[in-house]
Chains A and B, each alone.
Chain A
Amino acid sequence: MATVVTAQIAEEDATQGGVLVREQVGLWRDGLRRLRRNKLALAGAFYLIFIVLVALVAFAWTPYKPSAQNVCPVEFAYADGISAAHPFGCDPLGRDILSQMMQGAQISLIVGVGTSLIVCVVGISVGLLAGFSRGVLDAVISTVINAFYGVPYLLLSLVLYLVLGPGLLTIMIAISATSWMDMARLVRGQALSIREREFVEAARASGTRQGRILFTHIFPNALGPIIVQATFIIPVAILTEAFLSFLGVGIRPPLFSWGAIASGSNTGGTPLNLLQSAPWIVLFPSAALSVTLLAFNFFGDGLRDAFDPRQKR
């Protein structure tokens, strides 16, 4: 038998017998095991680890200073772009694209994870409050959620950009402000359904206080879908950041994000003429962005499958 068999039977007592059972695994470990079997999710996870490593390395070292101009001759950059010294080429100001992209990885991850964290904090608190309290408070919160769905995120970003000025935090706040509602809705729905489950009733019957029910029964049981949702928010945030930066209302020099690099806005060019004269400036950051988004989505899908009990076999 391939599985580890912890068998069991009576002690020394002849009148007792036993049954053989397999070693059982915990719910989380069981999920991880299913995650490991999902090849795409695994590939996504490995790529993400790689990106995280790149971002970490970039804190200590990049081939050139990302904002340092003229590290390669301007004419050379336009001649044939890619060389051993500058594998991803240079921009018209003579800056190294690889170095910029390593920094872009940092920005993407910070924006992605940071936004996801903000969304989690806001969405989970609001959702739990609404789902657990039900009644009037729930109705009010649900109305607020719906109102937020009506806010156009581009407009909100522009307003925040004008009010708060450019910067990482502005971007994270802007994206969070337009994406916390999904999380809040999810958590509210989870709380509503879990609070009707029999084990919550059992907890009430044995005299458990409301707060404890919320934090030891409802929240842990909603955690699976929350983690999955939080994972899916990361690529959305990264994409939105890239888009905003591409439009020029996001990350500005001396910081570089993938969207900003690809837009060529740092160079004074437009994406269209860059694509003709120096396609690497557009293509490499765009590719990095696409693959990262793909990796997050594969990984998130894998997580969903792993923690969806209906998938159990």
Chain B
Amino acid sequence: MAVDAAAVRPGATPQPAEPLLRVAHVTKHFRAGVSGVVHAVEDVSFDIKPGETVGLVGESGSGKSTLGRVITQLVPATSGQVIFDGVDLTTLRGERLRQQRRHLQMIFQDPFASLDPRMTVGDIIAEPLVNFGLHDHKEKDRKVQELLRVVGLNPYFNNRYPHEFSGGQRQRIGVARALALNPKLIVCDEPISALDVSIQAQIINLLEDLQREFNLTYLFIAHDLSVVRHISDRVMVMYLGKIVEISPSEDLYESQEHPYTKALLSAIPVPDPKIESQRRLVELSGEIPSPLFPPSGCNFHTRCPIARVPGICADEDPQLQEKSPGRFAKCHFSDEVRTKV
């Protein structure tokens, strides 16, 4: 599914037909209490091609971080497949799964929590290398210094501890760690949302530079649509465990196929008082329902401005369908989004 017809970024390698990552019908339920079930991720499918950046955007509680962790197998999927480079990760356990991690790395949201405070920066960055027995002692130091240089840090910082660095610098350390094994895919889980505005751009630029240099593929998770749109070739919008829209990021601002995407876009403040004064907010009624009790039918119908309730929206869950080339939406009435929302 989700075949992307949109142009890819210039400079990227020619696209082979085979996706690097294929997520097929992945569902993740957590137990809550005695009988409760949190429907964190519900039947999600998409592909990521080599060299591509796919953005995953959603509000808190949308299940985007859980999806990222299911893909990296930090959390096992309840059902579905995560086929990475031809191998279904969900069938692997123990050492065989560990070996696959060489090619699949992750950058975490909180640059303060994601680095072990008792380890030196050098040891943190070298840990992936040590895990796979890739470098002897002398070479390790050299490699760590190279990595530090690549992410724009002083290579002689390797003996320092994380707390000596600012948030932005720490996130660079996290990037260096993810880069150490030369992975094919990096899942970036909100890598800039904990950073100051002036530092965010540095990290985004760094990630873009590294992608070009190392032919990286990113799954970029964020709650900020403007950032996601900037860095991604395609954007996926997630709501309450389901993907509601997939679109080339070029087209996303111009038009939306799902009312939620439109509401999300309309809510993003723009640093320009003139635009702000003319902004028309698409009001969503209420707040995101609990994933413990997702609504029936289309799970957005409780807040949707165009939902037919009672009617098809409350009864029948729409499929993610290709509405126009390369653009997918999960809505019964996506034709009306442009005019009525």
Residues of A within 8 A of B (CB): 24, 26-27, 197-199, 201-209, 212, 216-217, 220-221, 223
Contacts and interface: CB of A to CB of B under 8 A. Distances in A.
A220 B113 contact: no
Contacts of A204: 74
A278 to B, nearest CB: 54
Interface string B110-126: 10011111110000000
Nearest to A205: B106
Closest 3 CB pairs of A and B: A207-B101, A198-B113, A24-B164
24 contacts: A24-B160, A26-B161, A27-B118, A27-B163, A199-B113, A199-B114, A201-B74, A201-B108, A202-B106, A202-B108, A204-B74, A206-B106, A206-B131, A206-B177, A206-B180, A207-B101, A207-B128, A207-B132, A208-B128, A212-B131, A216-B116, A220-B118, A220-B119, A221-B116
Nearest to B154: A8
A214 B101 CA distance: 19
A159 B180 CA distance: 59
Per DSSP, chain A at the interface is helix
B108 A221 contact: no
Residue among B102, B110, B163 with the highest chain A CB neighbour number at 10 A: B163
B55 interface: no
Contact of A198 (B99, B102, B108): B108
Contacts of B246: none
Interface residues of B, number: 31
B165 to A, nearest CB: 9
Contacts of B145: none
B127 interface: yes
B181 interface: yes
A310 to B, nearest CB: 14
Residue among A205, A216, A221, A223 with the highest chain B CB neighbour number at 10 A: A205
A309 to B, nearest CB: 9
Nearest to A208: B131
B53 interface: no
A13 to B, nearest CB: 14
A267 B119 CA distance: 57
Given A24-B164, A207-B128, A207-B132, A202 B174 contact: yes
B163 A24 contact: yes
B135 interface: no
B35 to A, nearest CB: 21
B118 A221 contact: yes
Contacts of A198: 108-110, 113-114
Nearest to B118: A220
Interface in B6-48: none
Contacts of B102: 207
Nearest to A194: B116
Contacts of A223: 118
Contact of B105 (A24, A206, A212): A206
Nearest to A206: B128
B72 interface: yes
Given A198-B114, A220-B118, A221-B118, A205 B98 contact: no
Contact of B119 (A24, A206, A216): A216
Contacts of A209: 98, 131
B98 A203 contact: no
Nearest to A199: B116
Contacts of A202: 106, 108, 114-115, 174, 177
Given A201-B108, A202-B108, 20 more contacts: A24-B160, A26-B161, A27-B161, A198-B110, A198-B113, A198-B114, A201-B114, A202-B114, A202-B115, A202-B177, A203-B127, A205-B72, A206-B101, A207-B102, A207-B131, A208-B131, A216-B119, A220-B116, A220-B118, A223-B118
Interface in B152-206: 160-161, 163-164, 174, 177-178, 180-181
B114 A207 contact: no
Contacts of B117: 27, 199, 221
Contacts of B106: 202, 205-206
A221 B115 CA distance: 12
Contacts of B72: 205
Contacts of A199: 113-117
Nearest to A218: B116
B164 A206 contact: no
A208 B114 CA distance: 14
A205 B105 contact: yes
A207 B72 CA distance: 11
A204 B74 CA distance: 7
Nearest to B128: A206
B118 A208 contact: no
B116 A217 contact: yes
A197 B98 CA distance: 20
Contacts of B161: 24, 26-27
Contacts of B177: 202, 206
Contacts of A207: 98-99, 101-102, 128, 131-132, 181
B131 to A, nearest CB: 4
Nearest to B161: A26
Residue among A26, A27, A198, A207 with the highest chain B CB neighbour number at 10 A: A207
Nearest to B75: A201
Contacts of B108: 198, 201-202
A46 B118 CA distance: 29
A204 B94 CA distance: 11
A47 to B, nearest CB: 31
